[in-house]
Amino acid sequence: MLDGWVEPRLNRRESFIYALSQLVTKTLVLAELEVRKLRHDPSDLLIRGVQPALWLLVFGQVFTRTRAIPTGNLSYLDFMAPGILAQSVLFVAIFTGGMTLIWERDLGIVQKLLASPIPRAAMVLGKAVGCGVRCLPQIVIIYGLTLLLGVNVNLNPLALLQVLVIVLLGAGCFCVFSLIIGCLVKSRERFTGIGQLITMPLFFASNAIYPLSLMPGWLHILSSINPLTYQVDALRGTMLVNGSSLYGFGLDCTILLLTLIGLTIICGRLYPRVAM
């Protein structure tokens, strides 16, 4: 009589696979919701491309002529291009994740999501994936600018795929970091101030616009724990024809992935604080 009334109990392996599939499915659903927001304001994608364009056209052109920074067998503009792509991803991720979270809290959307049976990790990763998709047009914009400026960009399909992976991982890391800040602060004004406070130190404490060899010891230590350093290193080894990576593409991806997992666990714990 109980046939069909009680579901069979899954073993540990089946339970893990089922939980993982549910996490992936719900993450993609929430990521789709984030991507749909682009239809309401597609001009934001072009506006986000203005800042990296200015860095390449002004800062890059000037320092290429001065030759004050040693970059080995690369011109300074070639050396700088991957760093500007990473900077663009950093700025988009920081000012998208936490700010969006605060807006959704004020509109009551976060409270509804928290009342649903969606895993907190899926809520975090959904926004991270959506932010990664939002950063993809930055690749097109910066690649177009670098080609016009004569940068030796590697257009091999495998290299493009590697750049895509690194951009998604970097965007995910900094988006989740931004979400953690959004969980802790209570107003958009305070988040904007904190976001501006942390973006420039993250950028300058990396190898984005100068090599690690020029850094003093204390700054070199900070750069070694900065995820942006590994994102730039991977982009420099894959984006350029004559580019090289200090740590290797595999290690860079591993560090970014572990950082993303660690930040996701922290953010999942803090996420209910948004509704308080």
Mean pLDDT of 178-201: 85
Q: CA-based Rg of the chain, rounded to a whole angstrom? A: 21
Residue 207's SS3 state is coil
pLDDT at 96: 83
CB atoms near residue 18 (< 10 Å): 11
Query: What is the tens place of the pLDDT at every residue in 63-120?
Result: 777 777 777 788 888 889 999 999 999 998 998 888 888 888 888 888 888 888 888 8
pLDDT at 1: 46
Distance CA 269, CA 103 (A): 20
Q: Residue 39 half-sphere exposure, CB side, CA atoms within 13 Å?
A: 5
Mean pLDDT of 200-206: 89
Query: What is the tens place of the pLDDT at every residue in 131-148?
Result: 888 888 889 889 988 888
Please tell me whether the overall predicted TM-score, pTM, comes out greater than 0.95 for this model: no
pLDDT at 190: 85
Mean pLDDT of 155-166: 93
Residues 6+ positions from 262 with CB-CB distance below 8 Å = none
Confidence of residue 253 (pLDDT cuts 50, 70, 90): very high
pLDDT at 192: 83
Instruction: Enumerate the domain spans of the chain.
Output: 12-275
73: which DSSP letter?
T
Query: What is the tens place of the pLDDT at every residue in 5-42?
Result: 555 565 666 676 777 788 888 888 888 888 887 777 76
Mean pLDDT of 204-232: 90
Distance CA 27, CA 248 (A): 29
Which ranges in the chain belong to alpha helices (H)?
A: 12-36, 43-47, 50-54, 61-66, 76-107, 109-114, 120-149, 157-184, 188-204, 217-224, 227-239, 249-270
CA 77 to chain centre: 23
Q: What percent of the chain has pLDDT over 70?
A: 91
Q: Over 60: is that where the pLDDT of 221 sits?
A: yes
pLDDT at 7: 54
How many residues comprise the chain? Answer: 276
Q: Over 60: is that where the pLDDT of 129 sits?
A: yes
Confidence of residue 239 (pLDDT cuts 50, 70, 90): very high
Residue 219: name the closest of 237, 203, 233 by CA. 203
Q: Over 60: is that where the pLDDT of 2 sits?
A: no
